[in-house]
């Protein structure tokens, strides 16, 4: 782009007469100096005279406003006694060219019968032969004032949502412009200053004075009476690139689409798109047409602005109706967009929170936050199924939860979150699968370890063997006391060894059950170790020269120690026989003649304790199997 005023004027010679205006007042309308054919003003004014137009039946009153060419006065239409607006030429510009422009505006506006275009009531010629245009009087305020002052908008129209209110106005303008385009008319100067908002929310698109009539689209009468105009015209701060003029410039309906997009730019940013201090800067902005939209502008609305203001007409919405439908869609989707925005704010930090959550309270808070994020994204998609931003957010939330669960070592939770994602990343799925395999191997190891220490496995066999051996162990002192109360050392060595042999034989017989778990093996070897320890006590008594009956009483102390160790490593209930053995030792030490009876009694306590601990569980299991048997096999 040219970077200086001289370069800009060289490239765009049509700007030469307007450079100062563009720099100092880019919001002012540039009115073309003339028409394509110099003879048109004379032809139009003669055509008006030939129609026999007369002075309209109105009484003129106070002046309502003045422009560069015309003056608008309050009038009263006598026949209907209604107040109207009457537009005539200013005294300083009463020539055929000015008259032709006012006639042109009258015929164009009169051809547009639309709720958003000011109705033309009458057109006539004054006593001086110049046009008199009678229109509906519009009482209201310029739209630009409401865009600039949200408080004024709220006071006058009770608008609680300014953006939606302004978009509704813009949609009505799209209707008016579409109507004009259908009749081959391009406005060329759409801007908030040229839109009047009535006290009841009426919307009027004003000032059709520089409108362009497309010869191939307009009615033959309008083309004949109005003709076309291709000079530089419009308001610089809203201009489309093709409005800068030049032999290649082509104005059509898409030019008005650009202007509507420029107005939308002002609605969402508060400023027209092409403002700058110097001519080169303003013209460069027009040529580039890259709207500067802040991060607060919703993504969908930003895309609408950018498309409407595409520097290439082929890239724009191809009609004002297309633009209106896009705005309708945005308003309809706005709730979905807002839900998406709120969900995105909640989504921030979700992965870090998911990775750090360890205790139950933190995991509960994480689940609540994720449920809220997921609910908002899904609700946004329900109200607008094409909301790709919500769809991406929902996917991102599940992926972040999966990553967080994986980081804290919960592969199963990571897999559940990943299953919610359509076409998940292959790399993440592989990592989760590897973590699941590792977790499964660890679970299998722990399960095997649990089975190894599970006292329920082989419990029935263990209980039967324990009760059997315990019964023998209980009765043996009685038998020995009756047969040989004065047992010697050789016989004392034989007793535990015989019992060890019995235990080993029974263990071999029941090896399938007794060797499956570490608990059973420990229980079996603990019994063997206790008997071997008894032999060690016997050998110690012999070595110390103790009498056999003294060593026999020491057996009770050894059994006490063995029972204490069994209570620690096998079951706490074995503390009962441990205490019984300790008490029995002191009883036998005080009354030696009771040794065999004390042994039988304390061994009975051990047997009953083992039966009390393990037998009820075996009985419950048998009852359950008996109760379930009819259900498994059905009626016989």
Query: Among 188-197, 337-346, 356-365, 473-482, which is the least confidently predicted range?
Result: 473-482
Burial of 431 (0-12, 13-18, 19+ CB in 10 A): middle
Residues facing 185 on adjacent strands = 213
What pLDDT is recorded for position 206?
92
Closest C-alpha among 606, 575, 288 to residue 475: 606
**pLDDT, mean of residues 370-388:** 90
**Cβ–Cβ under 8 Å, residues 88 and 135:** no
> Is residue 314 scored above 90 in pLDDT?
yes
**pLDDT tens-digit profile of 350-374?**
778 877 887 888 888 888 888 999 9
Burial class (CB in 10 A: 0-12, 13-18, 19+), 87: buried
Q: How far apart are CA 577 and CA 610, in angstroms?
A: 9
Mean pLDDT of the chain: 84
Give mean pLDDT, residues 429-450. Answer: 84
Asked whether residue 474 carries a pLDDT value surpassing 50, the answer given is yes
Q: What is the pLDDT of residue 55?
A: 86
- Range among 24-38, 575-589, 603-617 rated most confident: 575-589
| Res. 176 pLDDT band, cuts 50 70 90 | very high
Q: Using CA atoms, how far apart are residues 142 and 280, in angstroms rounded to an integer?
A: 30
Note whether 282 and 275 are within 8 A (CB). yes
Would you list the DSSP string of 7-68?
HHHHH-GGGGGGHHHHHH-TTSPBPPSS-SSTTHHHHHHHHHHHTT----SEEEEEEEEE-S
Sole residue written with tokens 């839900």: 339
- What pLDDT, in 10s, does the model give residues 118-164? 999 999 888 777 889 999 998 899 999 999 999 999 999 999 999 99
**Mean pLDDT computed over 256-270:** 96
pLDDT in tens, 202-253: 999 998 988 888 876 655 555 544 444 456 889 999 999 999 876 667 889 9
What pLDDT, on a 0 to 100 scale, did the predictor assign at position 48? 64
Of residues 617 and 277, the one with the higher pLDDT is 277
Half-sphere exposure (CA, 13 Å, Cβ side) for 463? 18
Enumerate residues 6+ apart whose C-beta is below 8 A from 111. 183, 185, 219, 222
């Amino acid at each position: 782009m040219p970077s200086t005023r001289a370069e800009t004027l060289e490239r765009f010679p049509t700007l030469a007469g307007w450079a100062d205006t563009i720099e100092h007042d880019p919001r002012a309308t540039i009115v073309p100096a003339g028409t394509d054919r110099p003879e048109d003003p004379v032809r139009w004014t003669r055509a008006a005279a030939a129609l026999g137009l007369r002075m309209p039946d109105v009484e003129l009153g106070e002046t309502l406003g003045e422009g560069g060419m015309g003056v608008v006065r309050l009038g009263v239409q006598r026949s209907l006694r209604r107040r109207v607006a009457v537009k005539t030429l200013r005294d300083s510009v009463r020539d055929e060219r000015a008259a032709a422009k006012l006639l042109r505006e009258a015929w164009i506006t009169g051809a547009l019968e639309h709720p958003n275009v000011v109705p033309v009531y009458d057109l006539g010629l004054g006593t001086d032969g110049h046009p008199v245009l009678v229109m509906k009087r519009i009482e209201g305020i310029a739209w630009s004032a409401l865009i600039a002052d949200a408080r004024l908008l709220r006071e006058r129209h009770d608008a609680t949502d300014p953006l939606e209110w302004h978009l509704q106005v813009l949609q009505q303008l799209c209707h008016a412009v579409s109507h004009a385009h259908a009749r081959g008319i391009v406005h060329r100067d759409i801007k908030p200053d040229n839109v009047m908002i009535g006290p009841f929310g009426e919307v009027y698109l004003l000032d059709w004075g520089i409108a362009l009539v497309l010869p191939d689209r307009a009615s033959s009468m309008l083309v004949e009476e109005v003709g076309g105009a291709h000079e530089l015209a419009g308001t610089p701060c809203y201009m489309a690139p093709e409005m800068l003029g030049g032999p290649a410039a082509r104005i059509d309906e898409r030019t008005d689409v650009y202007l509507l997009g420029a107005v939308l730019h002002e609605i969402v940013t508060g400023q027209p798109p092409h403002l700058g201090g110097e001519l080169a800067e303003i013209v460069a902005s027009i040529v580039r047409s890259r709207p500067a939209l802040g991060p607060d502008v919703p993504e969908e609305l930003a895309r609408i602005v950018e498309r409407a203001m595409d520097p290439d007409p082929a890239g724009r919405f191809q009609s004002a109706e297309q633009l209106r439908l896009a705005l309708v869609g945005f308003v309809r989707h706005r709730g979905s967009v807002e839900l998406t925005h709120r969900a995105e704010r909640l989504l921030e930090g979700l992965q870090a929170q998911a990775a750090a959550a360890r205790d139950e309270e933190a995991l509960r808070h994480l689940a609540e936050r994720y449920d809220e994020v997921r609910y908002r994204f899904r609700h946004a998609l329900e109200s607008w199924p094409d909301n790709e931003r919500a769809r991406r957010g929902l996917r991102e939330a599940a992926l972040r939860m999966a990553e967080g669960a994986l980081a804290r070592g919960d592969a199963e939770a990571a897999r559940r979150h990943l299953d919610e994602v359509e076409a998940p990343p292959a790399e993440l799925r592989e990592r989760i699968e590897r973590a699941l395999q590792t977790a499964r191997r660890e679970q299998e190891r722990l399960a095997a370890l649990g089975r190894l220490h599970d006292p329920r496995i082989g419990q029935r066999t263990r209980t039967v063997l324990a009760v059997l051996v315990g019964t023998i162990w209980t009765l043996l002192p009685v038998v020995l006391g009756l047969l040989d109360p004065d047992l010697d050392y050789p016989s004392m060595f034989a007793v535990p060894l015989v019992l060890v042999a019995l235990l080993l034989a029974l263990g071999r017989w029941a090896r399938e059950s007794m060797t499956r778990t570490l608990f059973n093996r420990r229980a079996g070897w603990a019994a063997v170790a206790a008997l071997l320890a008894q032999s060690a006590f016997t050998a110690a008594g012999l070595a110390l020269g103790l009498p056999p009956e003294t060593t026999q009483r020491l057996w009770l102390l050894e059994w006490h120690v063995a029972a204490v160790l069994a209570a620690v490593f096998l079951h706490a209930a074995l503390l009962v026989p441990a205490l019984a053995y300790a008490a029995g030792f002191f009883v036998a030490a005080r009354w030696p003649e009771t040794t065999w009876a004390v042994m039988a009694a304390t061994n009975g306590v051990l047997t009953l304790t083992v039966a009390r601990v393990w037998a009820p569980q075996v009985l419950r299991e048998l009852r359950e199997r008996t109760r379930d048997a009819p259900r498994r096999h059905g009626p016989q």
